[in-house]
Amino acid sequence: MATDNTLSSQATDVKKIQIYPLSSSSSGRQVSPFWRDKYERDAKKYWDLFYKRHKNKFFKDRHYLDKEWGGYFEEGKELVVFEAGCGAGNTIYPIISTYEGVTVHACDFSPRAIDLVKAHDNFRDDKINAFVCDLSAQDLNDFIPSSSVKIVTMVFVLSAVAPEKMLSVLHNIRKVLMPNGHVLFRDYALGDLAQERFAFKDQQISENFYVRGDGTRAYYFSEEFLTNLFKEGGFFVKDIGICNKLVENRSMDLVMNRRWIQAVFSLHLNNEDGLDGKHEKEHDELSIEAISSLSEPANDSEVDLSDSIFEMFDSEPPYDEVLETKVRGYSFRIKGVSREYQHTYKSTGLMLWESACLMSNVIAENPSIVAGKRILELGCGSAGICSMVSVQFAESIVSTDGDTEALKLLQFNIATNIDMHLIKKMMIKRLIWGKKEDIDAIKGLFCYEGGFDVILGTDVTYNPEAIYPLFTTAKELLLKQCTGKTKPALILCYIERRVCEDSIVSVAFQLGFRLMDRWVSGMIPNDGIICSWSSSGSSYWNDFQNTPLIILYFEL
């Protein structure tokens, strides 16, 4: 295993650009509690999507295992191995092909990963017991007998577990490991290139724990953290150290630091180790301080688990999803960030939300909501389908968002979907709620004329800090006097997330708004404004019955 000292001499010979030096002090903002909880709750789904997308083609088989840990597999002897977090089998099959006497238990909490293991040409059910299991929640003894495993391999798996659940995983593994058994460990190390990259992208969940572009997560270990974690889990350190490798991308003229941590842990230090209980503490301290004697694999090309070495530096979101959306006689092709990548971009406007789908259907069936009126859409995002439906009937439309990336994509989607004679009635403007310069710029538009007749907002109430600026902005820009049969209105449609309805209504009331009507999915609209939008043939209401949508209708 190459040490930091070994590589220092290599680094001086490199003339390429060094990417994200390890001394970088930059740190991004943490993701919101809503998304943090979602990543944890949907962890299995994100890994399932990963294997759906990449199948067994992303990782290379880990043939370096024989060189690194060959002595532990005792060639020619019967041996039971447990591969924790087996993925598509890139650790299993090199072991099986090298050591004939080995039988393997293998688990992953992605069903697709286990399907890939079983679909491998070399799969044998008498040699491999592959099963779906969440190591942080399910009991391993339901699948593997107690104290029956000699070796546990954990290769780039514990990093995918939330730090607060890592100890549960180790306790679970300890149940099936026999005395004198070993855990062979390799995972991401603190200061790895990918961690530095995440820090620049505001993808931090907690300290040293990040989310990738596809929703999967990665923790970056220090020797101290990992040692203390395993000790608390009842293990002793036999060997531990940091590997450091410079990866060169000649086509991009880049040099990148890849760091991983490699260790061996044991349940008991036996006499073959030359140690007894009195010397365990001394051995443990020496192991922590020493750099491992393991050598660096010659062709070890482990890369970040969700990005290829080229994709890693792609700063642009992958706008590779085109959704064909049908709205009551209209059809739009909306380009945006694909669903498996959209959760880690700071802008929430790079995707099509259910609330916009519902509201655009409402407008399409009830043109009187917008007909002949001046319409402002707040936080329209890149899809803008409410604006694109409204422009068919309205006098003018101003589509706004605070994110420039979303507005660029919105401009593309409008140009792709709307006829030129209608585009002339539309304007796209950046508007940060509560920002005087932006509000004044909207007031300066020729279509403003004292205010807008209708202001629309779909899924713009998810951030508690944004509710007050949202309503202050709406109050500034909504027409104050009625010029037609209906009064000027602010219409919000959203899924209730971090902000409850009572909080929204309370802020609205403080700023002079009155809640005139409301609708909640599953509720049959009764007498009122929203009821007038629903007819016996309005099937789209039923399409959203299982989505927790709310519509609030305000007037000043």
Q: Which CATH number do you get for residue 32?
A: 3.40.50.150
Phi-psi bin for 339: left (phi > 0), alpha (psi -120 to 50), beta? alpha
Q: Is the pLDDT assigned to residue 546 strictly greater than 70?
A: no
Does residue 531 form part of some domain?
yes
Share of the chain above pLDDT 90, in %: 48
Collapsing DSSP to helix, strand or coil, 284 comes out as helix
Does residue 514 form part of some domain?
yes
Q: Is the pLDDT assigned to residue 273 strictly greater than 80?
A: no
481 and 528 part of one domain: yes
Domain endpoint, select from 283, 310, 337: 310
260 and 334 part of one domain: no
Domain endpoint, select from 265, 284, 310: 310
Does residue 133 form part of some domain?
yes
Which domain, by its residues, includes 516?
Answer: 321-555
240 and 329 part of one domain: no
What is the arithmetic mean of pLDDT over 405-427? 92
Which residue is listed with tokens 């944004």?
466
Does residue 315 form part of some domain?
no
pLDDT of residue 313: 36
Q: Which residues of 129-151 are buried (b: 16+ CB within 10 A; e: fewer)?
A: ebbbbbbbeeebeeebeeeebbb
374 and 246 part of one domain: no
Mean pLDDT over the full length of the chain: 80
pLDDT of residue 526: 66
pLDDT bin (cut points 50, 70, 90) of residue 91 is: confident
pLDDT bin (cut points 50, 70, 90) of residue 229 is: very high
Domain endpoint, select from 284, 310, 336: 310
442 and 294 part of one domain: no
Highest mean pLDDT: which range of 37-51, 52-66, 517-531: 37-51
358 and 306 part of one domain: no
Does residue 366 form part of some domain?
yes
Does residue 316 form part of some domain?
no
Comparing CA positions, the residue from 346, 54, 302 lying closest to residue 193 is: 302
Query: If you count DSSP H runs as helices and E runs as strands, how many of each does the chain have, helices first?
Result: 18, 20
278 and 377 part of one domain: no
517 against 482, higher pLDDT: 517
198 CB burial (10 A radius; 0-12, 13-18, 19+): buried
Q: Where are the alpha helices (DSSP H) in 426-556?
A: 436-443, 467-477, 501-510, 540-543
Count of domains for the chain: 2
306 and 325 part of one domain: no
225 and 344 part of one domain: no
Does residue 454 form part of some domain?
yes
33 CB burial (10 A radius; 0-12, 13-18, 19+): exposed
